[in-house]
Amino acid sequence: MRKTLFIILLCNLTFYSYSQNKGIEKSVFGIQTGVLGVWIQNESKIGGEIALRSEIGLDAGLFGGSLFYDGGTGYLLIPTITVEPRWYYNLDKRASRSKNISDNAGNFISLKTSFLPDWFVISNYENINIINQVTIIPTWGIRRNIGQHFNYEAGFGIGYRYSFAKSAGFIENEGDIAANLHLRIGYRVR
């Protein structure tokens, strides 16, 4: 009888310690693409429910109309560097409902801070430059897994953009409202 109780207790403690180990992953590395760009990203655990996401990539843009160049349509890809602390606020709730939370699959609130430098521009037009800018956008989003290695992510936020227009020859720098609306699909490297 004692052996049976000891085995049951040992199994319960093992299950309990396994279930308490759920939460933010120590490190998640992957590549994501969306409608307007491609990014390489890493998330590192910095607290109980908080991860620091860092990413580099190429943001895409489209332009056209009679005001631009020859009235045609153009595209551009510009480099971007982002640092984004994320609070995954519902991982425990998802785990208690036996939902997949591996690789930080849950809802999050973040402060997306991006730098878009004028290092180079890939475009179908020549001699296009952009103005260096910084954006700070509070964002709400979700990430869910698709199978073992794939995930998708969606998010929305409104924040602030500061453009260093003086460095491009304008009279003064400019600040305005910026939006972050993203839908991405990604591949996680294990």
Q: Is 106 exposed, middle or buried (0-12, 13-18, 19+ CB in 10 A)?
A: buried
**Which residue has better confidence, 15 or 173?**
173
Coil/strand/helix, residue 96: helix
Supply the pLDDT for residue 6: 45
Instruction: Write b or e for each residue in 132-162: b if 16 or more Cβ atoms lie within 10 A of its Cβ, otherwise e.
Output: bbbbebebebebbbeeeeebbbebebebebe
Query: For 138-171, how does the pLDDT look when each residue is reduced to its tens digit (9 = 90+)?
Result: 999 999 999 889 999 999 999 999 999 888 888 9
Give one word for 112, left, alpha or beta, with left for phi > 0 and alpha for psi -120 to 50.
Answer: beta
Query: For 20-58, how does the pLDDT look when each residue is reduced to its tens digit (9 = 90+)?
Result: 346 788 999 999 999 889 999 999 999 889 999 999 999
The domains found in the chain, sorted by start residue, are: 25-189 (2.40.160)
Supply the pLDDT for residue 39: 97
pTM of the predicted model as reported, rounded to 2 decimal places: 0.80
Q: Which residue has the tokens 């954006």?
A: 135
Query: For 54-63, how does the pLDDT look when each residue is reduced to its tens digit (9 = 90+)?
Result: 999 999 988 8
Q: Which two tokens stand for residue 116?
A: 């878009």
Mean pLDDT lowest among 10-14, 16-20, 84-88, 162-166: 16-20
CB of 112 within 8 A of CB of 136? yes
Q: Whole-angstrom Cα distance, residue 183 to residue 137?
A: 16
**Which residue has better confidence, 24 or 89?**
89
Supply the pLDDT for residue 67: 60
